[in-house]
Structure formats: structure tokens, C-alpha cells
Amino acid sequence: MCGITGYVGSRQVAPILVEALGYLEYRGYDSAGIAVLHDNKIDISRSIGKVSSLKFLVQQKKVEGQIGLGHTRWATHGQPSEKNAHPHSDCHGKIVVVHNGIIDGHMELKKVLENEGHIFSSQTDSEVLAHLIEKYYDGDLSVAVGKVLKNILGSYSLGVMHVDHPGLLVVARHQSPLLVGCGDNENFISSDIRAILSQTRRIIFLEDQEMASLTAKDIHIETIDGKKIDRKPHFVEESLEQSEKNGYDHFMLKEIFEQPTAIKRTLESRVFEDKKSGLLSVDMGFDEEEIKNIKNIVIVSCGTSWHAGLIARRYIEKLCKIPVSVEYAAEFRYNEPLIDRKTLVIGISQSGETADTLAAIREAKKYGSRIIALCNVVGSSLSREADRTIYTYAGPEIGVASTKAFTCQLTLLYLLALDLAYKNKQMDGDEVSKCIMKIQGITASIEKSLSTENLDKIKHISCKYSQSRNFLYLGRGSGFAIALEGALKLKEISYIHAEGYHAGEMKHGPIALIDKNMPVVVLALKGRRYDKILANIAEIKARDGKVIAIATEGDDAIVELTDEVIYVPDVDRFMTPLVAVIPLQLLSYYIAFQRNCDVDQPRNLAKSVTVE
């Protein structure tokens, strides 16, 4: 993962780099560092922990200079330590490198370089790059970088500086994101738009196997084989305002509360009213001929986005009668998938930078399948590699635990299913319109779930159970996917072991775990499986387990059967996942809060998982 940034111009570089790293921190936060070139010397400042520690160090040192590189790290090779923090340099401290990605076979490369006399000072794969550039350097930095990149395998977004070229940054990308920000007599690089949005809105996206040489006045782009590329900058309109906490204690809480607005925005991007008939319809850009040719759909994604895929399968199969499989992106390319030109592959990803999801869609392309990306970040790698992108308009999601992106994904996947069903002649315009009206009403139901009364109840339950060592989450149907999502939310931000399980599978093993110390969160919403869920609740209570039920408003009887009840509004069966997940997000948030955990930046995690 990791985030990189860089600047060349006439302003003091250190504050610019540190500010950008603050925005990139979501990509990794176990250490951070900057390198600044000044007076023929490169000064490196690195510190373990978050960017705030680096900021303090840089202010103390009064780092000066007008060209530099920065990095925030999520450890892959070598533990989080100052030595393993970037930037890394060559043997003589003349070349520095910041790198996001993984260099394949770096151990062998390191051995060869050590035999040639190079001295390594870290355990990282990235340091190999600095020594390789040193080896190939013959007076022209970009030629040396190009030679190295042609001789290595793996993924990289890379920034390089050399003392002999005091006004030059050489950067490159392959399978890790990198963009160039164009200023007036100054230029920037970054892993992500938002990190440099306060400086410039003119952005050039680099593609795989491209490199750029940046001076304050010039940007020269070429492939690593030396083919010149002429690319104009995009003007980016995204607002930075959404990246502030606006009075909330954490981004996660703010993002939970933003869900009604985010869903509304997502709906508005795709829903239209027919002026003549007054019917609502949706257009995802498919044409009828295209849909006729779809034999099956494969969804590839990871984590929370994979949970959205599980629910999407129900939407699509039930409404459009097209078979869907939902694959872990990390497994997909190793499974010799049974797909072809008649398979529609949908990659779901909030960030659009998840390495496994990108690898999965690249694999699918080899079979000739059509690729649709469902993505939140405009201009991300996934959106650029897919045949077409359908955006969720959740706005920037900063908290590592995904919340509003998930509910926006569900919203869009439901609309996608409606569009396919209509064009596949499984639903008529009237039916589609009624379904759209129902999903439009979901924002009011979510607002209700976020009422003060509900929050107080969830806070109370959180206090009661925050010291539990384990949690079980059970559900059936789409409630099973929500149970998985609830358990993931809890474990990632509170470090409590939590397991999501199909309620019907409990008796095949996990029931052995139940005793008086085991809180079990049960998705017990009214619907076809309700009686079965009540039977599961009885089985838990018979073994002294503590049941926290997520139940449908008006279900008074459930109070007697359980220890705690959190009600959600009674909504259409396709929409229950959207309301049921809200109390689970809040429960995990308040438990993590009680336990004094770092809610927005939990240990060992990063927002975009850009390594496989």
C-alpha cells in the first residue's frame, strides 16, 4: 500500500510534502519520511508512527529545500521501523527513492547487488531500486530509471531524486497509482488526487509502464521503453471540504451519518423520470443486445465490497434471472475461471486501487469478458482499466472501515439489477418505477435508524459488551452477508475476535462456542426466514448465550426472547441490508470508542490494499 508524494518548484517543500502525506495516511501509517534536496545534499527525515511524528521532527530540524519526496508506509517487507521507513538511498546517499508496490524477486536482486559491493541498510524490497539505479546511472537519471524498470518485475509507483540533478524528479508507475499535478512553475506527484488538491486541480494520470521527468517548468512523459507521450491534464472538480471531520470525533462516525445524503446522491446520478409517463427509470448504459448476450455474471471484490457482491447476487438472480457467482478477487485468477466473451464481470471496489481486484479484472480480460467497474474514486486504476465504470457518489471515505461506500454500493447494485431486469424483459417499466420509489424511500429509513434514541440504545449496549473477548454474528439470506459485514466491522476497529456465520450452520460447529460470555448478534428481521431465526435464538438462549437482536420495528414479541433489541424500520425485503447494517456499523464504532481504539486508523490496516 503506502502513499508517495513529491514536489519541485520554488516554495519550501517540507510543509507541502507533510501536508500531502497527511491526506495519504489512509494508505498506511506505520512510518513516514521525506527527503529534501538542498545545497547539493539530500536530507532524509523519517519517523516511526503517524505523519504527526514526522511533522514534529521536520519542524524541529527546520528542513529547507525546494524539491523533495515523501512517503507514508504500510509495512510489507520488514517490520515498521525507522530504518525500513522510506525514502531509501543508494550506497553514497546521492540517490533517494520512495516506492509503493512490491518488487518481485527482490531477495535475489539484493544478493547480486551485495556481491557487487552494495551495502543495504533496510529489510525492504524498495531499497533494491535505489541500488539498481545507482548501478545503471551514467549521468542521465531518467535513462537509469528506465533501464531498471525494464529489468524488474512487480508493481511500483516510484519517485527518484539525485543530488547531481537538483531540479529534477523522475517518477514512474506500474500497477500502483501515481498522478502528476501541474502547477505554475511548480509540479507535484501523488498516489491520490486529494493529497495535492489544495495545490492544483490540473492532473495528469500516469498509466502502467510510464514514467515522467518533472522540473518546476516541464513535465516530460514517456513509456519505460522511451516512447514519448503527449497527455493533457484533466481538470478535477472534487471538493476537499468532504475530507474534514466537521465536528465529529471520527471520520467513521461522520461517514455513517452521511449515508442518507450519499445514497441520495448515488440515486440521483442514475434515476430519471419519463416526462410523458411520469415513470421512474434507470440507465446503467447497457443496451438490450448486450444484455441478450450475457450468459452469466461474475462479481470480483474484496472485504466489505465482497459482502456487497453477495447481496448483489440476490438482487440480480432474483430480478433478472441471470446466474451470478461472487468470487474473492484474491482467488479468482488462480482458479482458471469458467468465463468467456458472454460473461459480464463486475469489479466492485471503493478505492478502485485494490491490487487483488485489479488483478482479477485483468485476468477476466484475457478471456474476452466485458468488465464493468463499480467504484467510488473517480479516475482510479479500476475505473481506467474497466470497459465502463458506474460510480457510487459516496464522497471521499477516509475512515479505514468502509461504511457509506458499502450502502452506496448496495444502492447502485440494486439499480443495476433493475436496469438489467428491465432490458432483459423480466420487469416492466411500471414495476421498475415502483422499485425505484421504494429505494428512494430508504434514505428516510436510514435517517430514522440514526435517531438519538437509537444511538443511546446502541451506546448502552456497547458499554455493556465492550469487554467481551469474542462475538458471533448470525444471519440467513441477505442477513448472512450483513452478519459477515457486522463481524468484519467489529474486528477491524475494536480488535475483538468476531465471526460472521450462517445461522443455519451454527449447529454444525460454532454452537460449541456458546456460553454465558458469548454475545451473539442475530439478524432477526421479519421475512421468509424469520421463524427459523427465532429457532436459532432459542438454541443460543438454551446455552446461556447473550442475544443482541436486530429486529423489525413493531416486533414486540422478540423482546422476551432476547437480551437486547435494536429496531430498524420495516422496509421492502431487498432493502433490509441497507437498514440492517446501520446499527452494526454503530455498534462496532461505539465498542471501539469504549475501548479507546484508533477508530479511523486501526492497527495493521490501510484504506487501499494495493499489494496482493
Binding site for ligand F6R (CB under 6 A): 302-305, 349-351, 354, 357, 401-402, 488, 492, 608-609
Q: Of 2, 302, 375, 408, which is the active-site residue?
A: 2
Q: Which helix (H) or strand (E) holds 259?
A: helix 259-268
Which CB atom, from 127 or from 192, has the smaller least distance to ligand F6R? 192
Question: Cβ of residue 409: shortest distance to ligand F6R, in angstroms?
Answer: 8
What strands lie across the sheet with 95-100, from one edge to the other? 88-89, 95-100, 156-162, 169-174, 210-214, 219-223, 228-229
Grid coordinates representing 26 are 489512509
Residue 54 C-beta: closest distance to ligand F6R, Å: 25
Q: What are phi and psi of 384, to 5 degrees?
A: -80, -25
Length of the chain: 612
- Between strands 103-104 and 210-214, the pairing is unpaired
Q: For residue 397, what are the contacts with CB-CB under 8 A and spacing of at least 6?
A: 251, 255, 350, 376, 403, 404, 405, 607
Nearer to ligand F6R, 34 or 416 (CB): 416
The residue number whose beta carbon is nearest to ligand F6R equals 303
Strand extents, DSSP E, 433-536: 470-475, 497-502, 519-524
Q: What are phi and psi of 252, to 5 degrees?
A: -60, -45
- What radius of gyration do the chain's Cα atoms show? 26
Instruction: Tell me the closest approach of the beta carbon of residue 326 to ligand F6R, in angstroms.
Output: 14
Reference 199, options 8, 28, 65; nearest CA is 8
Report how far residue 344's alpha carbon sits from residue 238's, in angstroms, rounded to the nearest whole number: 30
Least Cβ distance, residue 322 to ligand F6R (angstroms) = 23
* Shortest distance (Å) from residue 475 CB to ligand F6R: 17
Nearest distance from C-beta of residue 484 to ligand F6R, angstroms: 11
3-state secondary structure 145-183: HHHHHHCCEECEEEEEEECCCCCCEEEEEEECCCEEEEC
Distance of closest approach, residue 275 Cβ to ligand F6R, in angstroms: 37
- Closest CB to ligand F6R among 171 and 373? 373
- Does residue 91 have an active-site annotation? no
Q: Which amino acid is at 542?
A: A
Task: Identify the active-site residue in 55, 110, 404, 607.
Answer: 607
SS3 of 79-122: CCCCCCCCCEECCCCCEEEEEECCEECHHHHHHHHHHCCCCCCC
Cα separation of 287 and 344, whole Å?
13
- 607 classed as catalytic: yes
Output DSSP code: residue 237: -
Q: Toward ligand F6R, which CB reaches closer, 352 or 545?
A: 352
CB of 480 to ligand F6R, least distance (A): 17
515: helix, strand or coil: coil
**Measured between alpha carbons, how far is 497 from 307 in angstroms, rounded to an integer?**
19
Looking only at the bridges linking them, the beta strands covering 187-190 and 228-229 are unpaired
Q: How far is the CB of 236 from ligand F6R (least distance, A)?
A: 19
Q: Which helix (H) or strand (E) holds 35?
A: strand 31-38
Beta strands in 338-430 (DSSP E): 343-349, 370-375, 388-391
Which residue, among 2, 33, 37, has the nearest Cα to 18 in the 3D structure? 33
| Helical axes 576-594 vs 404-423, angle rounded to 10° | 170
- Angle separating helix axes 404-423 and 429-440, nearest 10 degrees: 170
Least spacing, CB of residue 334 vs ligand F6R, in Å? 18
Of the pair 329, 518, the CB lying nearest ligand F6R is at 329
Amino acid identity at 110? K
Comparing CB distances to ligand F6R, the nearer of 415 and 488 is 488
Q: Label the pairing between strands 519-524 and 546-552.
A: parallel
Residue of 580, 583, 537, 532 whose CA lies nearest to 562: 537
Alpha carbon distance 412, 374 (integer Å) = 8
Question: What is the C-alpha end-to-end distance of the chain, expressed in Å?
Answer: 9
Q: How far is the CB of 304 from ligand F6R (least distance, A)?
A: 3
Q: What DSSP designation does 378 have? A: T
Residue with smaller CB distance to ligand F6R, 306 or 567: 306
Pick 402 or 536: Cβ nearer ligand F6R = 402
Q: Which is it for strands 271-273 and 296-301: parallel, antiparallel or unpaired?
A: unpaired
Q: Which residues are catalytic?
A: 2, 607
